[in-house]
Amino acid sequence: MSKKVINIYGGGAATIFFLAKMRDQDSYTFNVFTNKSTLGRKFLVAGKGGFNLTNDCPPEQLPPYYLPQAVLQEKLKTYDNKEFVDFLTKAKIPTYTGSSRRIFPKKGMKPIEVLQAFKDYFPAGTNINFDCDFVGFTPKGVRVKGADEERIVEADFHVFALGGASWTITGSKGEWLKAFHEIDVKTHAFQPANCGLVLPSSYADFCNFHQGEAIKNISISYNDQVILGEFNITSTGLEGNAIYPISTLLSRNSREKELETHTVFIDLKPQWTEEKLANKLKFRSDTLSRILKQLKFSKAAISLLKATVPREHWNVEMIGFYLKKLPISFESFRPIEEAISSSGGIDVDEVDDNFELKKRPNTFCIGEMVDWDTRTGGFLLQACYSMAAHLAGYLSKADESE
């Protein structure tokens, strides 16, 4: 019996997970087409930093980390973080859980070794076409372009895992939006997510003076989300673990309304109640800056307050309000090139429960190219895994049922 063919476009994390999950499917032939000369470029970049493969939060708490939840919910339940860790162990990628529940490859295991372990787990005979761009669709096939020429490839199933549009050096350029638009698939322009945020020019002195410093043990709230953590001051604004999740929410919401019109609120003492803070401020008669220093607010935090609080409110009676709820609006995002992920891509309503395009049968989209968002801390790779694992399960069954 002749084998069915699965063509996969893109050679990043979602492709790697998908192939590893298809390991035992010998009734298929797998052809990968990727625009780079090696696999997993962004995966390796992720490995240079923290390399959080997933997050050790209770599995039932995974779905709320994603926006919109519906497209991923069931997949995150079936292929949750525990299942992922079990699979990693099977693929000879031992892990450990670090602080803040992030799950890393075992200490001493290099990113390239993690990638190799996945490759060793690919189905035998997987055929990889490097330096080969997906450029568009024909009525039945897919147009790819190698060094010399463009050709049309056909297959029983086409799996797209072309990624987002940050860190273009890794191959994730997001140029494929146009090709999907041409077949009438709704897409959203890419915007940076999980990125630094730029403050208005009125904060220039604050940024210049304090760049490189961190303000720790704070929380930032935006709409109903509260993120505890810290941020670093850069030459243009703020970045860091409390800023990235907020930037992702802002990225999605600023499609509707300009970024400057959104306000986030910083609590510079989340561990103190308003009452406790009011008691600490009571009966103090020094200058406000000295009072704040006595209460152990850092120089950077005091400067941030000074740059934000209206002059007429700079007094001990009013400052308690601002310490708990400092309103900040940002001017822009840092460039998408620097962002850890991107918001945008294939509209989630264009795919069905198995990530199959409703308008093009046997054509699937997985990974960051679909328009869902989440925060850093292992949640991005977890979603790529849950999507890839679900699709692998679905296509394995599709073959058995015939």
Ligand X SMILES: Cc1cc2nc3c(=O)[nH]c(=O)nc-3n(C[C@H](O)[C@H](O)[C@H](O)COP(=O)(O)OP(=O)(O)OC[C@H]3O[C@@H](n4cnc5c(N)ncnc54)[C@H](O)[C@@H]3O)c2cc1C
Contact footprint for ligand X (CB under 6 A): 9-15, 33-36, 42-43, 45-46, 49-52, 133-134, 161-163, 166-167, 171-173, 175-176, 340-341, 367-369, 378, 380-381, 384
Closest by alpha carbon to 304, among 193, 229, 200, 194? 200
Strand positions, DSSP E, 138-260: 142-145, 150-153, 157-160, 187-193, 197-198, 214-222, 225-233, 237-239
Closest by alpha carbon to 353, among 342, 344, 341, 366? 366
Minimal distance in Å, beta carbon 321 to ligand X?
37
Minimal distance in Å, beta carbon 50 to ligand X?
5
Minimal distance in Å, beta carbon 174 to ligand X?
7
Q: Which is nearer to ligand X, 319 or 387 (CB)?
A: 387
Number of Cβ within 10 Å of residue 357's Cβ equals: 19
Q: Which is nearer to ligand X, 319 or 370 (CB)?
A: 370
Instruction: For residue 327, give the H/E element and its range.
Output: strand 326-328
In the complex, residue closest to ligand X by CB: 12
Closest by alpha carbon to 209, among 297, 300, 296? 300
Q: Which is nearer to ligand X, 53 or 301 (CB)?
A: 53
Tokens matching residue 166: 């940050």
Please answer whether residues 62 and 81 qualify as being in contact, where contact means their C-beta atoms are separated by less than 8 angstroms. Answer: yes
Q: 3-class DSSP state for residue 302?
A: helix
Minimal distance in Å, beta carbon 381 to ligand X?
3
Q: Which is nearer to ligand X, 101 or 284 (CB)?
A: 101
Please answer whether residues 29 and 125 qualify as being in contact, where contact means their C-beta atoms are separated by less than 8 angstroms. Answer: yes
Minimal distance in Å, beta carbon 303 to ligand X?
29
Minimal distance in Å, beta carbon 350 to ligand X?
16
Closest by alpha carbon to 104, among 42, 53, 57, 40? 53
Please answer whether residues 232 and 286 qualify as being in contact, where contact means their C-beta atoms are separated by less than 8 angstroms. Answer: no
Minimal distance in Å, beta carbon 304 to ligand X?
26
CA distance 310 to 307: 8
Burial of 360 (0-12, 13-18, 19+ CB in 10 A): middle
Minimal distance in Å, beta carbon 39 to ligand X?
7
Q: Which is nearer to ligand X, 105 or 320 (CB)?
A: 105
Q: Which is nearer to ligand X, 320 or 345 (CB)?
A: 345
Q: Which is nearer to ligand X, 36 or 324 (CB)?
A: 36
Q: Which is nearer to ligand X, 203 or 372 (CB)?
A: 372
Alpha-carbon distances, residue 74 vs 71, 77, 156, 182 (angstroms): 8, 5, 26, 30
Helix axes 274-281, 316-324, angle to 10 degrees: 150
Q: Which is nearer to ligand X, 56 or 267 (CB)?
A: 56
Minimal distance in Å, beta carbon 54 to ligand X?
7
